[in-house]
Amino acid sequence: MLYLIGLGLGDETDITVKGLSIVKKAARVYLEAYTSILLVDKAVLEQYYGREVILADREMVESASDDILHDAQNVDVAFLVVGDPFGATTHTDLVLRARALKIPITSIPNASIMSAIGATGLQLYNFGQTVSMVFFTETWKPASFYNRIRENREIGLHTLVLLDIKVKEQSLENMARGRKIYESPRYMTVGQCASQMLEIEEMKSGEGTGGVYGEESLAVGVARIGGKTEKFVSGTLKQLCLADQELGGPLHSLVLLGRRTHELESEYVREFAVDKEGWDMIWKRDYEGRQ
């Protein structure tokens, strides 16, 4: 059996009882280590589980999945995923490969950013499509997320923005030369995301297709949600461009408030505001009464 086991978002103790019992008896245990990170090291997991944990990086999962699936028709293999097993499409692909090999599959769900984001006080059924923000380069600034944010905004819903992480990535030069040299890990911050969003908004406005979110649009920055040091900061996108020091280390996420934000949601999120009086003013002007 191939078991896809969600680890939750915090530390080694967030695994479910069911998931832990499978880990303890599995022939091999893999930890997917590139779509997200847990807030503790692999060594902490190994001590808690009493098992060796094999790191499964992007290269292994996408190019050497046969190693993970080897003999899983006859033994139990545990594949650990930070958050929920199906929070990334890569894991769907692994399941399809297992199906093709007639390997039985079971998933053990857990908390993910998609559910844990409710800790902001924003109601989960008021969220629209989730989008991802990647690191911009001088020559590559993709804006495909913009239209989905526009669609959410048009029906008044919040948008959860998942921020890019770069783990075991090669530079273009090293990739072209076939050199197995990897860049240092990078994790996008709320400030970087907010700045890039405003950059794309300026570009779209120049093309006559802007007007989705501006400097005074309200948003919530989230750091290490589900962990002992989780942190929330709310304010305008312009204010959140400067919020990284307050939010601290990775992982970060961003929520753009929809125009149907309920008064109780605003009251809850206001407690995290950089400027509470400024929040009230913008809320009354742009959001109040538009549920």
Residue ranges per structural domain of the chain: 2-111, 114-287
**Sheet containing strand 252-256, strands side by side:** 131-133, 159-163, 252-256, 218-223, 231-236
Lowest-confidence segment of 79-93, 174-188, 211-225, 249-263 by average pLDDT = 174-188
pLDDT at 6 (0 to 100):
94
pLDDT at 102 (0 to 100):
95
**Which residues is 148 bridged to in the sheet?**
none
Q: Three-state SS for 124?
A: helix
Angle CA 256–168–131, to nearest 5: 20
Evaluate if residue 167 carries a pLDDT over 90.
no
pLDDT at 57 (0 to 100):
76
**Annotated binding residues:** 9, 84, 87, 112-113, 163, 252
Give yes or no on whether 2-111 and 114-287 have one common fold: no
Query: What residues have CB less than 8 Å from 194, skipping those under 6 apart?
Result: 219, 221, 237, 238, 240, 241, 243, 254
CB 26 within 8 A of CB 3: yes
CATH code for 114-287? 3.30.950.10
Lowest-confidence segment of 80-94, 163-177, 191-205 by average pLDDT = 163-177
Question: Is 2-111 a CATH 3.20.20.70 domain?
Answer: no
The C-alpha atoms of residue 146 and residue 264 are separated, in whole angstroms, by 28
Evaluate if residue 259 carries a pLDDT over 60.
yes
**Annotated binding residues for S-adenosyl-L-methionine:** 9, 84, 87, 112-113, 163, 252
Long-range contacts of residues 150-156, Cβ cutoff 8 Å, at least 24 apart: 150/212, 152/128, 152/256, 152/258, 153/212, 153/213, 153/256, 153/258, 153/259, 155/128, 155/258, 155/260, 156/258, 156/259, 156/260, 156/290, 156/291
pLDDT at 182 (0 to 100):
59
pLDDT at 40 (0 to 100):
84
The C-alpha atoms of residue 225 and residue 267 are separated, in whole angstroms, by 20
pLDDT at 86 (0 to 100):
86
pLDDT at 53 (0 to 100):
94
The C-alpha atoms of residue 53 and residue 23 are separated, in whole angstroms, by 9
Element (H, E) at 153: helix 145-154
Nearest to 53 by CA among 90, 95, 88, 81: 81
